[in-house]
Chains A and B, each alone.
Chain A
Amino acid sequence: AQSVAQPEDQVNVAEGNPLTVKCTYSVSGNPYLFWYVQYPNRGLQFLLKYITGDNLVKGSYGFEAEFNKSQTSFHLKKPSALVSDSALYFCAVRSGTALIFGKGTTLSVSS
């Protein structure tokens, strides 16, 4: 069965510093991986996806993610964090009809 794991419930980073939100996956076949962000009292917003090709995927709001097949990881990154990046981040993998989501990681960026 397809699954994703987000090993950190919370990540704290200072504004201006680089940030990483971790995700590992377990799939049979080719992985189709996604990152979403959820701001308080809002729905999920799509950030980026990996389908095939370049291992570094660029997405919205300056975020990028690095696909690593040997480590079965798809970590979300940003070179310089903003306070406004504080939110709940979800990694997901496509499994048939549905997206299978991780439990989410709360990112807190301090000024």
Chain B
Amino acid sequence: DAGITQSPRHKVTETGTPVTLRCHQTENHRYMYWYRQDPGHGLRLIHYSYGVKDTDKGEVSDGYSVSRSKTEDFLLTLESATSSQTSVYFCAISQGLADYNEQFFGPGTRLTVL
């Protein structure tokens, strides 16, 4: 999976609790992304980062925040988890932002919010 790890791989939590998911890469790629995958929706972009401390919102960013203090780590935080955030979360990286750059994906984190 292209030198990308995600932790935890599985998590069950309760509504209203904070949750942080971690993405770690060993490729030294500048760009990192968080997507969520839901049946019937494919993957949708939550947030992305274009460098240390540089982040921006994606299509479905409400209820999520991110941080990137080091090139290799990109954290996704659910401040107060809701059942609608039950999903599989994927981290991705890319070498550049050019249209022709493909993205490489991590193994995913399955999050269940009860």
Q: Which residues of A contact B (CB under 8 A)?
A: 30, 32, 34, 36, 41-46, 49, 51, 90, 94, 97-99, 101-104
Complex Cα spacing A45 to B56, Å? 25
Contact assessment for B40 and A103 in the assembled complex, using a CB-CB cutoff below 8 Å: yes
Indicate which residue in B42, B97, B102 contacts A97 across the interface (CB closer than 8 Å): B97
Contact assessment for B105 and A44 in the assembled complex, using a CB-CB cutoff below 8 Å: yes
12 contacts between A and B (CB under 8 A): A42-B107, A43-B90, A43-B105, A43-B107, A45-B105, A46-B102, A46-B104, A51-B100, A90-B42, A97-B97, A102-B42, A104-B42
Contact assessment for B102 and A49 in the assembled complex, using a CB-CB cutoff below 8 Å: yes
Query: Which residue of chain A has its CB nearest to the CB of B45?
Result: A98
Count residues of B near A (Cβ-Cβ below 8 Å): 26
Question: Given that A98-B33, A98-B45, A102-B42 are contacting pairs, would A32 and B107 also be in contact in the complex, using a CB cutoff of 8 Å?
Answer: no
Interface string of B82-102 (1 = CB under 8 A from A): 000000001010000101101
Q: A44-B92, A97-B48, A103-B41 are in contact. List 19 more A-B contacts (CB 8 A).
A: A32-B99, A32-B100, A34-B102, A36-B105, A44-B43, A45-B105, A46-B103, A90-B42, A94-B100, A97-B56, A97-B97, A98-B48, A98-B59, A99-B43, A99-B45, A101-B43, A101-B44, A103-B40, A104-B42
